Amino acid sequence: MEIHGGKMNLGILQKARVMFYMVTPNETQFEHTSDVPEYVQQATPLFIGMVLLEFFLSWAKNGKISVRINDGITSLSAGVMSRLLDVFVRSLEIYFYIYVWDKFRLCELPWDSAWTWWLSFVGVDFGYYWVHRMSHEVNILWSAHQAHHSSEDYNLTTALRQSLMQKWFSWIFYLPMALFIPPSVFAVHIQFNLLYQFWIHTEYINKLGPLELILNTPSHHRVHHGRNPYCIDTNYGGTLIIWDRIFGTFAAESDKVMYGLTHPINTFEPFAVQFQHLLYIWNTFWSAPGFYNKLSILFKGPGWGPGKPRLGLPEEIPKITGEEKPYDPGMTGFLQIYAVVHFILMLDIYEDMFVIENTLSELALVFRIFYILLTLTALGFFMDQRASAPFLEAIRCSIFLILHNLDLLKPFTDPVGYAVQIFFFVSAALWGMEGIARVISWKTKQQ
């Protein structure tokens, strides 16, 4: 490992061990939160490598990759969106934790004690269980978390389909720890708990024997992502599954799991993925009669309705017939390649933004975020096969050329820079002509 700027840069083996919580207290103890490595950020190459490994395993086994391009890009898009505001607002969980620690702590456990480390491990996982459970059982919180469950596939890209809104309330559940556990210890475990949950989003690992009794595993988490009636509201654990066993929310994997929401959203457009349930709550809130019903819509379960129990009626959960097909409007091979190439180019700009964010003006950050969101939206329109997709894509490519020439995006060095500009110019021209042709064809049919 190396030290740069006061923080460790992890070696490849340590990054791999961190992904599975296979670390010791001695090597992950820090006196100050400023010394705690950005474990999640440094794990990005491992995310990519494990996704590619899953691709290879699925191709070797089935002759095709496990990820549909449209669904995979949508999951990755949600992960991108969930981190964008981090350039302005760092972890709210850490911020509020430090505030409570500074103002209200009752005692100060030693930061370099193995007992403190293990207590924090248990405390963070216990807090996560309740964050997760309430995110399923409280409708207004579910409006954020549902984005993570909206994929009808289950693979490692699904782990990255994160909510844009959940970070704004999850910090509340960890505040009791701030009364006695130092922030630097908490800052380590809040990252490890998240990283551990990445590898369990796969169908390529079967049951793990006795470990199934204690740890959250791919088998347990497959159940959690299922929309079969037996899967609903189960297996909320992060690293440990013992909380589900204690509080009666555990279910073992049995029937083949069908993934996704009980009422699929049928879109790949990223803003719809994030906010569609919030819009549904808004509409039902204002149409509900009486103050009590309005509050119930917000704070009871997503399946609640007047006269029903808090979490709704189990018999109203749609039955699984085995004939269900995931939403897939279809994309030509050309469009799939085009979408992947533009997503990779956007991802390069996105990663560069985090690397050099301290040197960028607020205006440059705003324009980069705007361009990233515009790219994700345009790709979502293509994947949904919307009629307006060519026009939006022509506008997006034109905006890229403007921002790139104003040095407001990552400057691609020549000769790559020339090639990229030509690529975007040709894309803008072709999609603009395609959009015009569609309008002419539509007007001709109307006549």
Please give the C-alpha separations between residue 15 and each of 39, 157, 191, 228, 352, in angstroms, as whole numbers: 8, 19, 12, 35, 21
Asked if 139 and 42 sit in the same domain, the reply is: yes
Asked if 138 and 9 sit in the same domain, the reply is: yes
Domain count for the chain: 2
Domain boundary among 213, 247, 281: 247
Measured distance CA(107)–CA(312) in Å, rounded: 42
Q: How buried is 106 (Cβ within 10 angstroms: 0-12 exposed, 13-18 middle, 19+ buried)?
A: exposed
Global confidence as pTM:
0.92
Domain boundary among 198, 217, 247: 247
Instruction: Extract the tokens encoding 425.
Output: 């110019």
Measured distance CA(366)–CA(362) in Å, rounded: 6
CA atoms within 13 A on the CB side of 158: 26
Instruction: Extract the tokens encoding 280.
Output: 């549904």
Asked if 219 and 355 sit in the same domain, the reply is: no
Measured distance CA(277)–CA(260) in Å, rounded: 14
Q: Is the pLDDT of residue 44 over 90?
A: no
**Cis peptide bond N-terminal to 415, omega within 30:** yes
> What average pLDDT score do residues 321-340 get?
91
pLDDT band, very low/low/confident/very high, at 7 (cuts 50, 70, 90): low
281 falls within a domain: no
Asked if 25 and 121 sit in the same domain, the reply is: yes
Q: Do 189 and 121 touch, CB atoms closer than 8 A?
A: yes
HEC readout, the chain: CEEECCEEECCHHHHHHHHCCCCCCHHHCCCCHHHCCCHHHHCHHHHHHHHHHHHHHHHHHHCCCCCCHHHHHHHHHHHHHHHHHHHCCCCHHHHHHHHHHHHHCCCCCCCCCHHHHHHHHHHHHHHHHHHHHHHHHCHHHHHHHHHHHCCCCCCHHHHCCCCCCCHHHHHHHHHHHHHCCCHHHHHHHHHHHHHHCCCCCCCCCCCCHHHHHCECCHHHHHHHCECCHHHCCCCCCCCECHHHHHHCCCCCCCCCCCECCCCCCCCCCHHHHHHHHHHHHHHHHHHCCCHHHHHHHHHCCCCCCCCCCCCCCHHHCCCCCCCCCCCCCCCCHHHHHHHHHHHHHHHHHHHHHHHCHHHCCHHHHHHHHHHHHHHHHHHHHHHCCCCCHHHHHHHHHHHHHHHHHCCCCCCCCCCHHHHHHHHHHHHHHHHHHHHHHHHHHHHHHHC
Instruction: Extract the tokens encoding 204.
Output: 């390529």
Please give the C-alpha separations between residue 62 and each of 2, 56, 222, 257, 333, in angstroms, as whole numbers: 41, 10, 20, 19, 19
Asked if 223 and 363 sit in the same domain, the reply is: no
> What average pLDDT score do residues 76-87 get?
90
What backbone torsions phi and psi does residue 290 show, to the nearest 5 degrees? 85, 150
Q: What is the pLDDT of residues 161-176, one digit of tens each?
A: 999 999 889 999 999 9
Residues forming a β-bridge with 4: 7
Measured distance CA(283)–CA(181) in Å, rounded: 42
User: Long-range CB contacts (< 8 A, 24+ apart) of 19-22?
Assistant: 19/43, 19/46, 19/50, 19/195, 19/196, 19/198, 19/199, 20/196, 20/199, 21/192, 21/195, 21/196, 21/239
Residues forming a β-bridge with 7: 4
Q: What is the pLDDT of residues 173-227, one digit of tens each?
A: 999 999 999 999 999 999 999 999 999 999 999 999 999 999 999 999 999 999 9
pLDDT of residue 88: 76
Rg over CA atoms, the chain = 23
Asked if 22 and 162 sit in the same domain, the reply is: yes
Asked if 179 and 47 sit in the same domain, the reply is: yes
Domain boundary among 191, 221, 247: 247
165 falls within a domain: yes
136 falls within a domain: yes
Residues forming a β-bridge with 229: none
pLDDT of residue 2: 41
Measured distance CA(413)–CA(352) in Å, rounded: 14
Asked if 337 and 220 sit in the same domain, the reply is: no
Which residue type does 194 have?
A: L
Between CA 271 and CA 242, with CA 220 as vertex, the angle to 5 degrees is 110
302 falls within a domain: no
274 falls within a domain: no
pLDDT of residue 5: 42
430 falls within a domain: yes
Q: Do 158 and 84 touch, CB atoms closer than 8 A?
A: no
pLDDT band, very low/low/confident/very high, at 3 (cuts 50, 70, 90): very low
pLDDT band, very low/low/confident/very high, at 1 (cuts 50, 70, 90): very low
Asked if 230 and 348 sit in the same domain, the reply is: no
What backbone torsions phi and psi does residue 41 show, to the nearest 5 degrees? -65, -40
Q: What mean pLDDT is reported for the chain? A: 92
270 falls within a domain: no
Question: Between residues 279 and 59, which one has the greater pLDDT?
Answer: 279
Q: What is the pLDDT of residues 84-124, one digit of tens each?
A: 888 777 678 899 999 999 999 999 999 999 999 999 999 99
Asked if 48 and 142 sit in the same domain, the reply is: yes
Asked if 337 and 242 sit in the same domain, the reply is: no
Owning domain of residue 215: 2-247
Asked if 187 and 83 sit in the same domain, the reply is: yes
107 falls within a domain: yes
